[in-house]
Amino acid sequence: MKLTLVRGDITEQAVDAVVNAANSSLLGGGGVDGAIHRRGGPEILAECRKLRASRYGRGLPTGQAVATTAGRLPARWVIHTVGPVHSASEDRSELLASCYRESLRVAGTLEAASVAFPAISTGIFGWPMDDAARIAVETVRGSETSVEEVRFVLFDEAAYAAFGARL
């Protein structure tokens, strides 16, 4: 698997699947989630509502992943995953790692060759960037997957530097 690092906007990535750092409601939010829903258009939200009605009425569990259309994004699919909120009193790193593993598993079922990941849980969920980068890169490198290319797409210089140090 080829791992690449991009500084930029994940909504502009021409890949098979873009990973969304979603909230459990699947109904959009801020940060990466809001950007994906805004740029992708109402088709994404419509599929998320169907998923909520049929399978995830209480919300998508933390560490799990599910796919929808990508709407107007240059990707084919959006893989939604709910990252954990960082806690100083509880080790939740396995849940963060699960986001990456489960997203790759879903990508494999879609036969996606390329996947773009954001820095999951590093925004409002408060995960320290250096630790998030370590978990993300180690988990992706250690995953058995048919995905051929994983892009870590980071919006700012600090995130780009943290992931660059791990790659």
Residues identified as active-site:
33
Q: CB 18: neighbour CB atoms within 10 A? A: 31
Instruction: Dihedral sign for Cα 154, 157, 162, 164, please.
Output: positive
Residue 63's alpha-carbon distances to 2, 74, 91, 114, in angstroms, are 23, 25, 14, 20
Residue 57 CA to chain centroid, in angstroms?
21
Q: CB 124: neighbour CB atoms within 10 A? A: 12
H or E segment and range at residue 53: helix 42-54
Alpha-carbon span 149 to 165, nearest angstrom: 19
